[in-house]
Chain A
Amino acid sequence: MSKRTSIPILLVSLLLLVAGCSDSDSDSTTTAAGGDTATTQAEGGDTETTQTDTAEPVVVRAAITGDEDTINPYTYVSGFPGWNLLMMQYDSLMQLDAAGEPQNWLAASVTASDDLTEWTVSLVEGAKWHDGTDLTIDDALFTFNYFIESATGRFSRDLRGVESVTINDAGELVFALGAPNPAFDLVALADIPILPAHVWESIENPGEATFDISTNVGSGPFKMTAYEQDQFYRFEANADYFRGAPAVDELVVVIFADDAGALAAIRSGEVDVGFERVSPEQIELLDAQDPLDVVQGPEFTTQMINIDVSKPPFDDLAVRQAVGLAIDRQDIVDTVYLGAATVGSPGWVHPDKTVYNPSVAPVHDVATANQLLDDAGYADSDGDGIREFNGQPMTFEYITNSSDSLRLRIAELTAEMLADIGIGTTVVSVETATWEEAVWPGFDINNGRNYEMATWGWSAPIQANTIRIAELVHSDPGIGFLNLTGFSDPEVDAIAEALQVEADPAAAAQLISDLQALIAELQPFVMLAYPDGAYVYNSDVYADWEFIAGQGIVSKLSLLPPGARP
């Protein structure tokens, strides 16, 4: 610390000294400041030349928004891009390919028993840790038992259904599951980083330990060599990587406080790629600027309206269906996303998923919506354009988070659509933590809900693993722990429960299909759109970015030579 902060401290003292000497002498200070500016101009020129001269080692500078702490399995902060940066340093047994399907990676073979309760994995040879020691099957065994024993964190949750992990006589890893899990390869094998036993066995309580980056010993293509909180990370290529040396020699990840700053730095050439999505109105502008390029594709994040359906009048199916019919999803895609999104399926599942049920198409029909409300007795008796319910106008507070301007536009646009069916809304834009606390108090649905209507969205993993549809709609908080709208329906519960234990993939697909039809009919929430991912990069510096379906371009695949990708 002393070394890093010594220079700013020195500068501050210098400043105070100058202040002390020249309090009333305005002339001398102004010239001094002027002199500084002159030298800076010269320096600015220098930086530009060094930028273009670095042809030899490929250095990619990437922008992220928000610090990710030391990025080890217990410290990284966000699912995206935090997990992706974690996996630059570590490897999992399987790795998603460009189509989003898990392929063997540290695993040489993965086989599941017919009933999907036993998974057997053999390991590749030649993988090494960053410190030069061999990565062995014992490390893998240690990792899984470590996550199972330490109980908290994403990777422990991935392993909840695992009863035991052992090594068999053939030296393979055997996972015994309590119940069939057809997605075990996707949710666990392609998600969990394998840890070096010799580094982690001394860390007894990882949830409470304080880490620095010396713990970050992985087997991945990059090794973290420096970290300054809220400033940057520096990763160096691992030349001995078991799939071959990375195509990028050094990765500097710059931590910005907000997207606007990151975007300015990309446009000024100070940063070469943005890990966060570019907003739709920026796509054309950035693409037009040389040497910037934008790569775009469908993703699995979701945009929806959550409504507290446990309270009247939204506990009435007719009202929910009317709301669903009043929303013009195509208009949202065109107006808010400028076309860079896929129209939301009212049944939740993205049309690109194999289990998508094509019979649940979105319908926009304001006349039918009005008819439904008229028939159900919600009349506008005072002629102010807003229907009444129990003598009160049907006007609701509609909250959205202020940090997301697209959501604010969605809220305003959908508020107008709802006005067409006589439902009034007051759009309230609040800071993110306040919005989260209203929709999902304490991140625990047992705490209830403090909102009427809200914009909402789930991150890609929830859509990517379609079995998780059950978590969104089941009425028991133990199963439906993401059921934020207070939805409850016995038929949905029954199918969701059956889905959780279904071993046969075809039967599970059928259950997911049935659930989509029910969700589209019963409207536990209003699905609006799946925004596209669009990422900007400087093609002069590095252009080989791989877009993984539903996941974007930030992954180790993008930084490996094409031959080393699955």
Chain B
Amino acid sequence: MLRRGLRNVNRYLLVFAIAVSLNFVLPRLMPGNPLALIAGVDVGLLTPAERAELIEQVGLNEPLLAQFFDYWKSVLTFDLGFSYRSGRSISELISERLPWTLLITLGSLLVASVIGIALGGLSAWRRGKKLDLSLLTGMISLQSLPSFWLGMLLISVFAVQLGWLPSFGAETPASGYEGWERVDDIIRHAILPIVTLTILSIPGAYLTMRYAMLEVLGSDFIRTARSKGASERRVLFGHVARNAIAPVVTFLAIRFAFAFGGSVIIETVFSYPGLGRLIFESVSGRDYPVMQAAFLVFTVAVLVANLFADMMYPVIDPRMRVR
């Protein structure tokens, strides 16, 4: 068991090394230039000497390989460096943004998985019935909604037409709210982004749960349980749901990891100051260090979540325990 665990960790380290290296290469493969961001206004009006000086300041004149080693050194020493845009420490930027992102991504993940799992289970239980078919059609339509469109639609209805909820931001700007007033303000601002993200993530949870359940429902031991005379309720909760939960846990673990990447589109539509917005701003300005750091956080989260799911399997499902 321990040896298997070690092998697993090795594999994860390899994936980590590849992902982190790609993380350096990909931003630099994008056409475009961070100079506009570094130099700020009227970058074209720089003389060649000024341009060279700026490039040297941020180390872009070094050979790519040297930049690559510097980058690995910074990854291994947890020193994420400084943003080209604001000159601020990136660890500080990320720790400022992450809570906002987690508030809306985890909020929606929670609601969406509860609703999705419940509906998915129900749907599978009533397989082929009218309820199942309408749910399935409904979910597939939901899944194909463009996220920015849904966000804009909700803004237009609930913020512009009805005026019930704020349309942008994480808080009322310069409100000076403190304590509960501020909590309330933050919750009101989070509702529309959470609702949008929830609507978009329900189908994933629903479909995973439905298929997992269907697979279990068709297996021999369910027939045995039924023929033993177990009640429907006992079959559903004691046998089917218990066995169907493993793929759902994987799904949730991955979704949990994705929460750390934020939602670029939703945070842009709602001008929400999370990690997704930070990624959006850094990609449009080619702020390489910030892009790298944001993707690094995301990569680590996905790997850790996978590792977690791997380790959870034996706990959930005794059949997966290796002797």
A interface residues, Cβ below 8 angstroms from B: 1, 4-5, 7-9, 11-12, 15-16, 18-19, 22-23, 26, 29-30, 33, 36-37, 39-41, 43-44, 47-48, 61, 66-67, 69-70, 75-79, 82-83, 151-154, 157, 207-208, 210-211, 226, 228-232, 234, 250, 252, 254-258, 260-261, 264-265, 267-270, 431-434, 436-438, 440-444, 446, 461, 481-482
Contacts and interface: CB of A to CB of B under 8 A. Distances in A.
Sorted nearest first, the 7 A-B pairs with minimum C-beta distance are A433-B32, A232-B173, A8-B99, A234-B174, A257-B268, A44-B164, A443-B43
Given A11-B99, A444-B46, 12 more contacts: A8-B100, A12-B99, A12-B103, A15-B106, A33-B111, A83-B41, A152-B50, A234-B173, A257-B269, A433-B30, A443-B43, A444-B44
B110 A18 contact: yes
Contact of B44 (A48, A69, A260, A440): A440
Interface stretch (B139-147, B182-190, B226-234): B182-190
Contacts, number: 225
Given A19-B110, A67-B281, A77 B156 contact: no
B87 A264 contact: no
Given A61-B173, A78-B41, A261 B46 contact: no
29 contacts: A5-B99, A11-B186, A12-B102, A12-B106, A15-B106, A16-B106, A23-B114, A30-B115, A43-B188, A79-B41, A154-B45, A226-B174, A229-B88, A231-B169, A231-B170, A232-B173, A232-B174, A254-B169, A257-B268, A261-B155, A264-B168, A265-B159, A270-B159, A434-B30, A434-B31, A437-B31, A442-B51, A443-B44, A443-B51
A39 to B, nearest CB: 7
Contact of A481 (B41, B44, B280, B285): B44
Looking at A16, A43, A66, the one whose CB has the most chain B CB atoms below 10 A away is A43
Interface of B: 30-33, 35-36, 39-46, 48, 50-51, 53-54, 57, 82, 85-88, 92-93, 95-96, 99-100, 102-103, 106-107, 110-111, 114-115, 117-118, 152, 155-156, 159-160, 163-174, 182-184, 186-188, 190-191, 267-271, 273, 277-278, 280-281, 284-286
Contacts of A434: 30-32
A121 B131 CA distance: 82
A432 B33 CA distance: 11
A482 B32 contact: no
B97 to A, nearest CB: 8
Nearest to B102: A12
B168 A442 contact: no
B69 to A, nearest CB: 23
A437 B33 contact: yes
B99 A264 contact: no
A33 B186 CA distance: 15
Contacts of A78: 41
Nearest to B111: A33
Given A1-B92, A8-B186, A40 B159 contact: no
B88 A231 contact: no
Contacts of A226: 174
A431 B114 CA distance: 38
B173 A7 contact: no
Nearest to A471: B45
Contacts of B152: 260, 264
Contacts of A48: 163
B167 to A, nearest CB: 5
Contacts of B35: 442-443
Nearest to A450: B31
A104 B259 CA distance: 55
A25 to B, nearest CB: 8
Contacts of A77: 40-41, 85
A40 B191 contact: yes
A26 B16 CA distance: 36
Given A1-B95, A15-B103, A443-B35, A261 B53 contact: no
Contacts of A431: 32, 284
A210 B32 contact: no
Contact of A230 (B99, B183, B281): B281
A11 B103 contact: yes
A5 B103 contact: no
Given A79-B42, A152-B53, A260-B152, A210 B167 contact: no
A7 B103 CA distance: 10
A271 to B, nearest CB: 8
Contacts of A211: 87
B280 A264 contact: no
B86 A228 contact: no
Contacts of B285: 433
Nearest to A6: B99
B36 A443 contact: yes
A257 B280 contact: yes
B48 A40 contact: no
A66 B41 CA distance: 13
A563 B184 CA distance: 43
Nearest to B187: A36
A256 B280 CA distance: 12
Nearest to B190: A11
B281 A43 contact: no
B22 to A, nearest CB: 20
Contacts of B93: 229
B194 to A, nearest CB: 9
Contacts of A482: 44
A40 B57 contact: no
Nearest to A225: B174
B106 A76 contact: no
Given A69-B85, A83-B41, A270 B167 contact: yes
Given A82-B41, A481-B45, A40 B169 contact: no
B277 A26 contact: no
A261 B187 contact: no
Contacts of A229: 86, 88, 93, 96, 273
Contacts of B165: 40, 44
A62 to B, nearest CB: 10
